[in-house]
Amino acid sequence: MEATLMGSLRDHHRKSELEVALKLNGSIRLKMAQFLQERGFVEIPPVIYSTATDPLNHPVYDPSFDYEGTRYSITKSMIFHKQILVQQFPKIYSFSPNVRLEMPEKAKTGRHLLEFTQLDLEMLDATREDAIRLGEDLFCDVIKHVKEKHSKDLESIERTISVPSKPFRRIKYMDAMKQYGDDFESILSREAKEPFWIIDIPLEAREFYDRESDTEKGILNDMDLIYPEGFCEALSGGEREYKIERILERVRAKNQSPEQFEWFIEEARSGLRLSAGFGIGIERLLRYICGYKRIEDTHPFPKIPGQKSV
């Protein structure tokens, strides 16, 4: 017989783990919104489906449908919407639900849900440096808040976390790769005691929209934040390509077509300014804060790769 939700919640352990995760979920979202609004960010509503969504840089199934003769995809990230809207509203964020139908083997990582929420934000006339600084401040504030307001909750799940010192360490992608090989992210994450940045990710490893360095060919002005203790990727972000010729060149280099992103490309033709931002996965952040082995313990209705869900 399949396990029911009520059945699995009668397991006292899972119920108390989920309870803490849900309590922290509400609390950190409030904290993040407050942090951003104090800095002049405007919250924008999430986009659930649209004609152009994040192509991602790894294979996933594409949930899409037709409506009145137009093809739509469910949002994989709001990257294009935020890059366009930030031109009018210079600091924006959204708690954005995303659907990424990952391949079944991703279940092994303990950090992939097919449906998740990311705090996605973008700043106009900003550089990667600005995004990194904001990310560090935001992360440290959230951890400080959790320690101050939720020490009992952390105690109840036997979790200890600390506020990292700023600035976080930075490691260049190619250096990490040379030293540790393909699996560098997990190796470095397991060794680390504090979060750190992987920067200068090469073009092949990222989507077309991250901006290529003006001085180093094939290297992007972008970054990932990696959690310590083996929890791996926390956020991805960077500067964006904003000149139409470069956008088109990058789309072509990925063997993608401008038609796939028609709405975005049309907007970009009218001229964009540089922006930078990032997206941080909420369930992954909760998993790290709570120290859970599996991301599904942060969610009452987890969608696990390769598994049937309600």
Q: Which residues bind ligand ASP (CB under 6 A)?
A: 54, 77, 79, 120, 236-238, 277-279
Considering the complex, state which of residue 202 and residue 291 has its C-beta at the smaller distance from ligand ASP: 202
User: Which of ligand ASP, Mg ion, none has residue 279 at its interface (CB below 5 to 8 Å by kind)?
Assistant: ligand ASP
Q: Give the nearest distance from C-beta 207 to Mg ion in angstroms.
A: 5
278 binds, among Mg ion, ligand ASP, none (CB under 5 to 8 A by kind): ligand ASP
The yes or no reply on residue 236 touching Mg ion (CB under 5 A) is yes
Q: How many Cβ atoms sit within 10 Å of the Cβ of residue 7?
A: 10
Residue at shortest CB range from ligand ASP: 279
Sequential DSSP letters for 30-71: HHHHHHHHHTT-EE-----EES-----SS--B--EEEETTEE
Tokens of 176: 């990490």
Upper half-sphere CA count for residue 58 (Cβ side, 13 Å)? 6
Nearer of residues 9 and 101 to Mg ion, judged by Cβ: 101
Instruction: Say whether residue 275 binds Mg ion (CB under 5 A).
Output: no
Nearer to Mg ion, 53 or 297 (CB): 53
**Close Cβ partners of 86 (under 8 Å, ≥ 6 residues apart):** 92, 122, 123, 124, 275, 277
Shortest Cβ 282–ligand ASP spacing (Å): 12
Residues touching Mg ion, count (CB under 5 A): 1
CB of 32 to ligand ASP, least distance (A): 15
Q: Is 25 in the site for Mg ion (CB under 5 A)?
A: no
Would you say 231 and 287 are in contact if contact means Cβ atoms under 8 Å apart?
yes
Q: How far apart are CA 217 and CA 238, in angstroms?
A: 16
Our CB check for Mg ion shows the closer of 240 and 303 to be: 240
CB 227 within 8 A of CB 193: no
Q: Distance (Å, rounded) from C-alpha 91 to C-alpha 37? A: 9
Q: How far is the CB of 296 from ligand ASP (least distance, A)?
A: 20
- 75 near Mg ion, judged by CB under 5 A: no
CB of 191 to ligand ASP, least distance (A): 25
